């Protein structure tokens, strides 16, 4: 008898793993009753076994249970099937065979054995639970529903499984049956929060807002000092566009809990939908000031604000900045707080402030490539080569396979007049951009510039041609290629073709007009060059353009006017390497 009792205790310990929802643990009394019921074959065991057969069956059963515990299901099934041969009408053996088959993936056999276990012992809760789980695993929801219904009806004390039954009805969209089941549970257990919430869910799916509201009011009346029920009701009103009611109930929640952030958020949304922007912003600030509002919720709200930025309303932009600042103040060591604040600043046009915030985010978490990318893009937009080089160098230590980082590293090297290093970075990055044709084109355009600086004109021309072949509308490649060809006095027809095509798209661009003028200058069309430069000088004070204008005037035999333009060029900025000699000797040098 001691050996059999050990077997049944193992059985009781394993039943929870077979249920769809873990049942409550058995009390000692329940364990004894279950053990006694299974240990005594009675009329269920069929023909009486000899003592030897009984012992052999029990031993095989124990071995089978052990192998189920060890997750060795083939051996478990072998032992249990041999036990089954001795006692095919033993409910416990059928149950364990069902469990072992289910765990090994043989749901068909598991169904048969589980049905047998229930049939042999129709008062055992766990047998029903296993059968329902096997049925649900095969998407046999109707069958699983019937199993739970039978469990609740046939087994005393199984009323708690009415909730499982209601969930199954809901999963099948059988709303009336689910509601009826919950009403049955309410009669048995009284007013329970879970029942009220589930009934609300059903009423809403039935578009019965009145009944859903009534359930919420019942919860509030039963728990008058509990703000979460009041908040749930306020959300219900807000989600169904009953904004005055939402405001009224949310304010009721604040009387119970004055600093509750969810109440302020509900009010903020309700005021926003009513077009009361200042009141909405004030409620958001109050919500963000609450320590109970977590950073994830703050970030979620700010991300919603990002979709409105940049706003034509200064108040919206300022509110977003204020909320971002509050988030940082509340979470000064959270990278995501600085990152989302950086996004706010970037979208409202404050790039330097955005970059500073992104860099602070990276102090706390440097693993986010997107933040590094934002920093690098701002460096490039601000044309700050030193920062661009420093930040791409740091980022490449963490993300050496990111082609865009190599691209901007090469750009920075080129701006710092390190063309050899620029070529090295750009050529390496280009190899990484195999699946990004647009980025490869940008690499080629930059390589054209870098190889020109190295006076490797063959590779420079090849890079530009590759860029223009992939993207004939690439303005940077067309302009720079044309200009460098003009400086060299080579392939001037090609240079003119490129810049004329570009000017058709951008007829007033002073940079492109200067390039066109210099192509004409090299072709000795000085009158045409003068006309192009005079048009360019309407919109630019660039020293190079002014110096070019002086050179053209010199060629047109107007030395005094040329000298005046050279003097203007020196005052405007940095001209060519020949500018000072032109001014000193009062003549043209090229």
Closest residue by Cα to residue 77 from 57, 94, 97: 97
3-state secondary structure of 390: helix
- State which of 365, 385, 418 marks the end of a domain: 365
Contact between residue 148 and residue 163 where contact means Cβ atoms under 8 Å apart: no
Q: What is the pLDDT along the chain (590 residues), one digit of tens a residue?
A: 223 322 322 333 333 333 333 333 334 444 344 344 433 333 334 347 788 888 888 899 999 999 999 999 999 999 999 999 999 999 999 999 999 999 999 999 999 999 999 999 999 999 999 999 999 899 898 898 899 889 988 999 888 888 888 888 888 888 888 888 888 887 887 767 777 778 878 887 888 888 888 878 887 877 788 888 888 888 888 888 899 989 998 998 999 988 899 999 999 989 988 989 899 999 999 999 888 899 999 999 899 888 888 877 888 888 899 999 999 998 999 999 999 999 999 999 999 999 999 999 999 999 999 999 999 999 999 999 999 999 999 999 999 999 999 999 999 999 999 999 999 999 999 999 989 999 999 999 999 999 999 999 999 999 999 999 999 999 999 999 999 999 999 999 999 999 999 999 999 999 999 999 999 999 999 999 999 999 999 999 999 999 999 999 999 999 999 999 999 999 998 889 999 999 999 999 98
Domain membership of residue 324 as a residue range: 294-365
Q: Tell me, yes or no, whether 64 and 136 share the same domain.
A: yes
d(CA 498, CA 473): 10
Q: Tell me, yes or no, whether 65 and 128 share the same domain.
A: yes
Q: Tell me, yes or no, whether 305 and 284 share the same domain.
A: no
Handedness of CA 384, 385, 390, 392 (dihedral sign): positive
Q: What angle do CA 333, 336, 337 make, to 5 degrees?
A: 65
Q: Tell me, yes or no, whether 233 and 315 share the same domain.
A: no
d(CA 113, CA 230): 49
Q: What angle do CA 438, 439, 445 make, to 5 degrees?
A: 95
3-state helix vs strand vs coil in the chain, percent to 5 = 75, 0, 25
Contact between residue 232 and residue 219 where contact means Cβ atoms under 8 Å apart: yes
Could you write out the three-class secondary structure of 157-205? Answer: CCHHHHHHHHHHHHHCCCHHHHHHHHHHHHHHHCCCHHHHHHHHHHHHH
Provide the 8-state DSSP code for 72. -
Give the CA count within 13 Å in the CB-facing half-sphere of 166: 22
**Number of other residues whose CB lies within 10 A of the CB of residue 424:** 16
Provide the angle, in degrees to the nearest 10, between the axes of the packed helices 526-536 and 543-555: 150
Q: Tell me, yes or no, whether 247 and 309 share the same domain.
A: no
d(CA 325, CA 338): 9
Question: Which CATH number do you get for residue 250?
Answer: 1.25.40.10
d(CA 172, CA 182): 15
Q: Tell me, yes or no, whether 273 and 298 share the same domain.
A: no
**How many structural domains are present in the chain?**
3
State pTM to two decimals. 0.66
- State which of 293, 315, 347 marks the end of a domain: 293
**Cβ-Cβ contacts under 8 Å for 501 (sequence gap 6 or more):** 478
């Amino acid at each position: 008898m001691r050996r059999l009792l050990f077997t049944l205790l193992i059985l009781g310990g394993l039943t929870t793993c077979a249920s769809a929802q873990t049942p409550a643990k058995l009390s000692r009394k329940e364990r004894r009753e279950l053990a006694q019921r299974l240990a005594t074959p009675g009329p269920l065991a069929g023909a009486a076994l000899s003592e030897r057969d009984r012992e052999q069956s029990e031993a095989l059963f124990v071995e089978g249970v052990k192998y189920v515990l060890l997750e060795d299901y083939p051996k478990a099934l072998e032992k249990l099937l041999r036990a089954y041969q001795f006692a095919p009408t033993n409910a416990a053996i059928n149950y364990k065979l069902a469990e072992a088959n289910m765990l090994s993936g043989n749901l068909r056999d598991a169904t048969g054995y589980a049905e047998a276990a229930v049939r042999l012992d129709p008062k055992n809760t766990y047998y029903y639970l296993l059968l329902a789980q096997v049925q649900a695993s095969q998407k046999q929801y109707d069958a699983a529903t019937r199993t739970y219904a039978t469990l609740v009806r046939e087994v005393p004390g199984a009323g708690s499984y009415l909730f499982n039954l209601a969930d199954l009805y809901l999963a099948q969209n059988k709303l009336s049956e689910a509601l009826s089941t919950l009403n049955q549970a309410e009669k048995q257990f009284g007013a329970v929060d879970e029942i009220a919430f589930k009934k609300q869910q059903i009423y809403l799916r039935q578009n019965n807002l009145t009944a859903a509201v009534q359930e919420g009011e019942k919860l509030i009346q039963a728990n008058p000092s509990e703000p979460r029920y009041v908040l749930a009701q306020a959300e219900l009103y807000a989600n169904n566009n009953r904004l005055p009611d939402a405001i009224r109930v949310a304010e009721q929640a604040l009387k119970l809990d004055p600093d509750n952030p969810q109440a302020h958020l509900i009010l903020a949304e309700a005021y926003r939908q009513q077009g009361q922007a200042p009141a909405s912003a004030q409620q958001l600030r109050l919500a963000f000031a609450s320590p109970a509002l977590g950073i994830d919720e703050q970030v979620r709200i700010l991300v919603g604000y990002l979709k409105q930025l940049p706003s034509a309303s200064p108040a919206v932009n300022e509110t977003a900045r204020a909320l971002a600042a509050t988030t940082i103040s509340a979470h000064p060591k959270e990278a995501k707080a600085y990152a989302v604040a950086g996004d706010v600043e970037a979208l409202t046009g404050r790039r330097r402030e955005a970059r500073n915030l992104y860099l602070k985010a990276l102090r706390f978490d440097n693993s986010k490539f997107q933040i590094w990318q934002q920093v690098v893009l701002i460096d490039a937009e601000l044309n700050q080569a030193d920062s661009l080089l420093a930040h791409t160098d740091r980022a490449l230590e963490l993300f050496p396979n990111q082609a865009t980082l190599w691209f901007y590293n090469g750009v920075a090297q080129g701006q710092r007049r390190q063309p050899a290093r620029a070529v090295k970075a750009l050529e390496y990055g280009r190899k990484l951009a195999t699946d990004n044709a647009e980025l490869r084109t940008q690499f080629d355009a930059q390589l054209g510039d870098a190889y020109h600086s190295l006076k490797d004109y063959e590779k420079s021309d090849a890079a530009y041609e590759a860029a223009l072949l992939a993207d004939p509308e690439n303005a940077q490649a067309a302009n720079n290629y044309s200009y460098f060809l003009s400086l060299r006095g080579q392939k001037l027809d090609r240079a003119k073709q490129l810049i004329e095509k570009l000017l058709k798209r951008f007829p007033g661009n002073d940079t492109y007009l200067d390039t066109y003028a210099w192509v004409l200058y090299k072709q000795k069309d000085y009158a045409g060059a003068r006309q192009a430069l005079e048009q360019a000088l309407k919109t630019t004070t660039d020293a190079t353009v002014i110096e070019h204008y002086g050179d053209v005037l010199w060629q047109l035999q107007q030395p005094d006017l040329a000298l005046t333009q050279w003097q203007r060029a020196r005052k405007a900025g940095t001209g060519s390497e020949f500018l000072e000699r032109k001014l000193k000797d009062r003549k043209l040098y090229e």
